[in-house]
Amino acid sequence: MKSNRQPSKQTTPQGALRTFFTIWTGQIASLLGSQLVGFALVWWLTETTNSATTLAIATTVSVLPGIIIAPIAGALIDRWDRRRVMIVADCLVALVTLGLAGLFALGDVRPWHLYVLMLLRATCGAFHWPAMQAATGQLVPRKHLARVSGLNQALQGAANIIIPPAGALVLQILPMQSILAIDIATAAIATLPLLFVRIPRPKRAVQTASLSSDLREGLKYVTHQRGLMLTILCAAFVTVLTVPATSFIPLMVTRHFDGGALELGWMQSALGFGVVAGGLLLSTWGGFHNRSVTAIVALLFRGIGMLIVGLTPSTGFPLALAATFFYNAAGTLVDGSIMAILQSVVPNHLMGRVVTIVNSGFALSIPIGMAIGGPLADRAGVSACFVGAGILTALTAIAAFANKDIMNMGREAMVSDTPALGQLSAAD
């Protein structure tokens, strides 16, 4: 018998997209508030301790959850209600921030208090961010995923430009407890829309009994999808190449271009504006029909841009500035396209695990790259890091273009114009 039941608004592509942007609007406020507070906390540690070791500890506790906890978090996200995961993560961040604000108000703050806060915030982020990415894959039609990813990249770049001067301003006019209150308020703004929307749960293909089985299922999916695995390996390899060079920009400015704080500020601005430009381009254009082509062409341009920076003579700082903008804009196109591919091809019930596995791999690539790049920069010079990274990045792009598995995955990402709504259950 044919059913006359009409689909609910939230199970249509238009309704799902409205739900996504309702959530996304609140997340913008949370992003800005979190980055503002993060800047203020790092500056407080810098002024209070004047210790590189202290800052190194702060950085370490901020990235550890992304390496250690993230895979387990991904498996739990695929088991739990993703909307509730985001609500609980935002509320816990607000709660621990409130506790630290109380300590600042009492004048009884120690550096280890901030370490604990940063660790807890990063742990909540290890749950929140993958849950948001998984929900994005459920709610956004596939043809718009690259645009949404580009918009997210542009907002992140804009925040990197706006937050440092805004943070410096609020530090001059507000006590730390009031700055922390901003983060609490923006967490509340992010949580409020989540209370009034519904994110359907994905149907699980197999109901496994244990968390370890879930983790193995996620790893098996990644390792058995040849195109996906090769794309991840290429991206991780490029991360190993490019992170050291980008991290050594202050040394490039001072050693090679004989510049100072002003030139470093211009270079950092070029990085930020490059992210904004790349994100806006992807959000308006959407990329080529084959998303792998978008990522590969942008990767080639990223390599060329880094090579130009490395080959620029000491008198050519404006050229290096333009090339820095260019290669970071291209990098944003790469990152946004890869995320759109993941959200398109990975089944919804595996999205949390796959996203966190990928993130853990990238997080591990950073210390590997720094361990290689540091001694290389000291021996051969920072310019050599840029030249080597540029050449190898461009060669990686050419190799990826010649690989049929990577190219086929990009075509698969655009097979359907809508998210796999049929895979979603009606459970709330």
Biggest CA-to-CA distance, the chain: 79
DSSP character for 402?
T
Q: Looking at domain 12-194, does it have CATH number 1.20.1250.20?
A: yes
415 exposure class (CB count in 10 Å sphere: 0-12, 13-18, 19+): exposed
What ranges do the domains of the chain cover? Answer: 12-194, 216-417
Beta bridge partners of 306: none
Same topology, domains 12-194 and 216-417? Answer is: yes
Q: What is the pLDDT along the chain (428 residues), one digit of tens a residue?
A: 444 444 445 556 677 778 888 888 888 888 888 888 888 888 888 788 877 677 768 777 887 787 788 778 888 888 888 899 999 999 999 999 999 999 999 988 999 999 899 899 889 988 888 888 888 878 888 778 888 888 888 887 888 788 877 887 888 889 999 999 998 999 999 999 999 888 877 665 455 557 777 778 888 888 888 888 998 899 889 988 888 887 788 788 888 898 886 787 788 788 889 989 999 999 899 888 888 999 999 999 999 999 999 999 999 999 999 999 999 999 999 998 988 888 888 887 888 888 888 877 877 787 788 788 888 888 888 899 899 999 999 999 999 999 999 998 877 766 544 444 334 333 33
Contact 127, 76 (CB under 8 A): yes
How many Cα atoms occupy the beta-carbon half-sphere of 111 within 13 Å? 18
The distance from CA 330 to its chain's CA centroid, rounded to whole angstroms, is 15
CA-based end-to-end distance of the chain: 27
CATH architecture, domain 216-417? Up-down Bundle (1.20)
Output the CA–CA distances (angstroms, integers) from residue 174 to 37, 91, 108, 179, 185, in the order listed. 12, 24, 18, 7, 15
